[in-house]
Structure 1
Amino acid sequence: MACGCPVACSNLTSVPEVAGDAALLRDPRDVRSLAAAMRQVAAASERCGAACPPGGRRTC
């Protein structure tokens, strides 16, 4: 996220608080949803920066 690239991560524990709207949050137990998010991130990574601009603003 600090590089402005899209991120897919778990929607459990405190991850949603950290990632907020800068990531694709998915239930890690839902394999199909997680796989779809990974495909989205892989496709968006080709357009890194424009694909998920909130990621660049959300750094820890």
Structure 2
Amino acid sequence: MTERAVERISVEVLRRPFSAIAADFGVHEKTVRRIAKDRVPALTGTRRSSSKSKFDGQDGC
């Protein structure tokens, strides 16, 4: 797959369902999910964190 196609899919995943993007590009939906996993955090300015959520189920009132 070309870099241009990957970049376009990266933008589209922010707006449309993975299945629709996969159909448009003629790729498997899993391919779209992998691109989203790899590229979207960089586009949105977010990143995955392995730290606990502040809502960890304990009552800290």
Q: TM-score range by the shorter chain?
A: under 0.3
Bigger CA radius of gyration: 2
More RCO (CA 8 Å, sep 6+): 1
Structure 1 length as normaliser, TM-score?
Answer: 0.28
Larger helix proportion, structure 1 or 2? 2
